[in-house]
Structure 1
Amino acid sequence: MPAPSPSDVILFDGVCNLCNGFVQFVIRHDAAGRYRFAALQSEAGRGLLAAHGVAPAALAAEPDSVVLLSDGRFYSHSGAVLRIARGLGGLWQAAALAEVLPRAWRDAAYRFVARHRYRWFGREESCWLPTPELKARFL
């Protein structure tokens, strides 16, 4: 699989502690700075969703915490997480082995965690703000 293009954007639930932790994990392991980020609740996030024909209300109905926009394509659920892990390179590419499982199973597990993420990991009142050093990677 080719490396992510500079246009790869990870959209995440900005008030979810699990999602914020995932973004920080990606930042730590994406030394090349290939991924950019936007909260699903932000103006930039809503605009990107609309540009790809996804209504924010659709994501509210189907719990989603991480979405990937890559090369003009929209990835959600387990597909987004596995594609991001593969794009990080190194050992993280091993996560792609989970693709041998049926997508329905992977997505069911993803939705289960997404439905319970606030209860298990908590939530913030407002979106996480990046440090000045990371601000350029956020839309």
Structure 2
Amino acid sequence: MVTDREKLQDKSIVFYDGSCGFCQVSVQLVLKYNKHQDLYFSSLQSGVLEQIVPLNQVPDPLPDAVLFYEHGKLYAASDAALQIARHLNFPLSILSYFRFIPVSFRDKVYSFVAKHRYKIAGRQDSCILPAPEQRARFIG
């Protein structure tokens, strides 16, 4: 018998800040350009992350913007963004090649954007409602 946890562990999941307008716009972009429609989404506030990732691997406190879970591994910061980019249509998939830039530099740029994301797109009290065919890709 397969448990809900096991079902979730087999999925590639983007964890995002549900109260961040910039993050919600980013999720909409990923939904639109996810070439195989194989990414799932869950807000960091949902508790789903803690269900599938061992507690000693969950960042404390939770990060400012995005985490990505795939094949039993949790990616954070620029590594998460670049792993997500691998799943996008061309030309956005080219962003994944930025992984060759030193992680210290990538994470500084990522941290700058994450720190200022509320100034960029504001705070959201409600989520953008996905299209009916996309709703099944949201967890929690």
Structure 1-normalised TM-score? Answer: 0.81
**Residue 26 of structure 1 aligns with which residue?**
30
RMSD (Å) for aligned C-alpha atoms: 2.1
Letter in 2 for 1:75: Y
Is the contact between residue 13 and residue 19 of structure 1 (CA under 8 Å) also seen in structure 2? Answer: yes
Query: Number of aligned pairs?
Result: 129
Percent of aligned pairs sharing the same letter: 35
- Over 3 Å counting, the alpha-carbon distance change for 1:109 and 1:49 in structure 2 is farther
- Does residue 128 in structure 1 map to residue 131 in structure 2? no
CA distance in 2, matches of 1:23, 1:39: 10
Structure 2 unaligned residues grouped into runs of 5+: 1-8
CA distance in 2, matches of 1:51, 1:29: 26
1:69 deviation in Å? 0.4
1:66 deviation in Å? 1.3
Letter in 2 for 1:109: V
Deviations 1:42-94, CA, capped at 9 Å, x for gaps:
2xxx23235312457421xx42x111100010001000111111122432221
- Over 3 Å counting, the alpha-carbon distance change for 1:82 and 1:55 in structure 2 is closer
Secondary structure, aligned partner of 1:79: helix
Letter in 1 for 2:99: E
1:110 deviation in Å? 0.6
Secondary structure, aligned partner of 2:119: helix
Alignment partner of 1:14 out of 8, 14, 18: 18
Secondary structure, aligned partner of 1:58: coil
Structure 2-normalised TM-score? Answer: 0.81
